[in-house]
Amino acid sequence: MSEHTEILSATAAAAGERWRPSLRFLAVWRRHFLVWRKLLWSAIIGNFGEPLFYLLALGYGLGRFVGELEGLPYLVFLASGTVCSSAMMAAAFEATFSAYTRLDYQQTWMAMLTAPLAVEDVVLGEVVWAATKASFAAVPILLVAALLGLTAGWGALWVVPLVLLTALCFAALAMCVTVVARSYDYFTYLITLLLTPMMLLSGVFFPLSELPAALQGVVWLLPLAHAVALIRPLMTGGELGHVLLHLAVLAGYTVVAFGLAVRLARRRLMS
Amino acid sequence: MPQAVVEVSGLVKRYGERNVVDGVDLTIEPGECFGLLGPNGAGKTTTLRMLLGLTPPSGGQIRVLGHPIPAEARIMRTRVGVVPQFDNLDPDFTVRENLATYGSYFGLRGRELERRIEQLLEFAQLADRGDAPIQTLSGGMKRRLTLARALINRPELLVLDEPTTGLDPQARQHIWERLRRLLGDGRSLILTTHYMEEAERLCDRIAIIDHGRVQACDSPRGLIRTHIEPHVVELHGAVDPTWLAGAQSASGVRLERVGETVFLYGFEREPLLALADAAGTEYLYRPANLEDVFLKLTGRELRD
């Protein structure tokens, strides 16, 4: 008998719906965009204002004592780092606290799943949206840096797609935590234990080369250092190296994290 | 003969060692209002979730509107409307924005969607509240909006999980009247409910589910006719123990006690009333109803 039911459940699982990439996730993205537009000012102040204040205060204040790092005035060094860290943090916050509110408290995901949307569409919509919102935060910092004369020419425009990739990467990683979270406390662990140390050690505030060799090795296994390694030279006119490697790490993390987030989301929502 | 709206056979859902749904067979015909009744934990909501493709079955076959489920669940859901048990309206949007956004999940847009929204606001009697934020709506209005939202894609089948739980009698009547209108338009309905009166008034057929199985399935009248004695007396308050002992052994009378209340069931009215008169307490005589059938088939112990 148990063998018989095993076979039945195997067939049923095999008959599960196949997902093919489609543009349906745009409806999910659009819903989040429309809400964001309604709450525009608080979003702008939180996501763009805060890193900008840090940049200016630390860059001018601390910069006077620091002088130059890697041949760059500290404000210039920090501006490129801040673009990366704000992309990471804004994406992670949206993909955790806000996405979890929609998943759990508001049951927005469930409403979407009773419409003709699949879990993949909902998770993809969330990740792309979080990356979009993070770009709305990080790209204006690039703009301000350019207006202050802290960037080196039009090559800095390449930063825009890289900000999007960085934000996609961290949105997908954060989503893996969101879909297993049972409360908002989970995100405090993620941010305090993983993202904040990553931000402090990945070359945002001071050069990676200042770290002990072993720690450098660990930091290079994480994605943020690769984002900094691409974005800083593009913003400051420095020399780019290992471009494909850095891109591959960011893209690899994004794809693997997205796949994992979908699996975990299915387990939570569809069991 | 037209194709069945829902065809389910041998449906099983297993969590760990426990079969929450344990071999359910159902056929729902077009234009029918079909009720799923059962105590909490009987497997009603799990059955609905499997029908909608929101969780894969552990065994059995499902077809909804001709689509094999879960293989074609997403396509099937373009033709189905869902009213969930708990409101999940978008709190950041107005009434109209809620309908528009939900419509966008179906790929609906433009003039056609706008026209549909105006019709639905009319239908839900929310035409003057189109721009109101969700937080300002009463419970009944929210429920009506959730129902309107489920109709955005002109569904052939509407699935409602406890559509009137927590509503006041006026709001409930309102929802019933609208559901009847939808049935009049030829749509099919599946609903779960804990309100026997709701099931009795709305449903053409009812399946009483318990322990993951269909215990009985028939029209409300059919269920009452086949499963319960037609005459009922309820005695409230303390009764004389000698009378009780006599009543328990009286022929042609079935007796049940729930706390202070005694229920007498019988096929003949006169002997039942004579027995009740002799008890010396207040009593109520009434014809048997669906609740009597429900309690007989699913027992009287509490389910939490």
Note the pLDDT tens digit of each residue in B24-35: 999 999 999 999
B52 lies within 8 A of chain A by CB: yes
Instruction: Please check whether residue B145 is in contact with residue B151, taking contact to mean a CB–CB distance below 8 angstroms.
Output: no
Longest dimension (CA), chain B: 76
Residue of A97, A6, A4, A81 lying closest to A43 (CA atoms): A97
Strands (E), A14-127: 68-69, 72-73
- What local confidence, expressed as pLDDT, does residue A219 receive? 97
Pairing mode, if any, of strands B188-193 and B33-37? parallel
- Name residue B119's amino acid: Q
B23 lies within 8 A of chain A by CB: no
pLDDT at B267 over 60: yes
Cα B14 vs. chain centroid, distance in angstroms? 23
Q: Of A183-192, A253-262, B254-263, B285-294, where does mean pLDDT reach its minimum?
A: B254-263
| Pairwise CB contact (< 8 Å): A12 & B55 | no
ipTM score? 0.91
Nearest-by-Cβ selection for B88 from A15, A35, A111: A111
- What local confidence, expressed as pLDDT, does residue B149 receive? 98
pLDDT tens by residue, B64-105 = 999 999 999 999 999 999 999 999 999 999 999 999 999 999
CA–CA separation, B37 and B192 (whole Å): 6
Report percent pLDDT > 90 for chain B: 86
Radius of gyration of chain B (CA): 22
Kindly state the tokens that stand for B207. Answer: 């399946």
Please report which confidence band the pLDDT of residue B304 belongs to, taking 50, 70 and 90 as the band edges: low
> Taking the CB of residue B237, how many other CB atoms lie within 10 A of it?
12
| Pairwise CB contact (< 8 Å): A12 & B56 | yes
- What local confidence, expressed as pLDDT, does residue A43 receive? 77
List, for chain A, all residue ranges whose pLDDT scores fall below the cut of 70: 1-16
CA–CA separation, A77 and A258 (whole Å): 31
- What local confidence, expressed as pLDDT, does residue B52 receive? 97
CA–CA separation, B260 and B3 (whole Å): 50
| Pairwise CB contact (< 8 Å): B92 & A35 | yes
Q: Is the pTM of this model over 0.90?
A: yes
Nearest Cα of chain A lies from the Cα of B58 at a distance, in angstroms, of 4
- What local confidence, expressed as pLDDT, does residue A14 receive? 41
List B residues 88-117 in contact with A (Cβ-Cβ < 8 A). 88-93, 97, 101-102, 104-107
pLDDT tens by residue, B110-163 = 999 999 999 999 999 999 999 999 999 999 999 999 999 999 999 999 999 999
Nearest-by-Cβ selection for B101 from A12, A31, A114: A31
| Pairwise CB contact (< 8 Å): A116 & B105 | yes
- What local confidence, expressed as pLDDT, does residue B147 receive? 97
| Pairwise CB contact (< 8 Å): B86 & A114 | no
- What local confidence, expressed as pLDDT, does residue A11 receive? 44
pLDDT tens by residue, B199-250 = 999 999 999 999 999 999 999 999 999 999 999 999 988 888 889 888 888 8
Residues in chain B with CB shorter than 8 Å from the CB of A38 are 92
Nearest Cα of chain A lies from the Cα of B169 at a distance, in angstroms, of 26
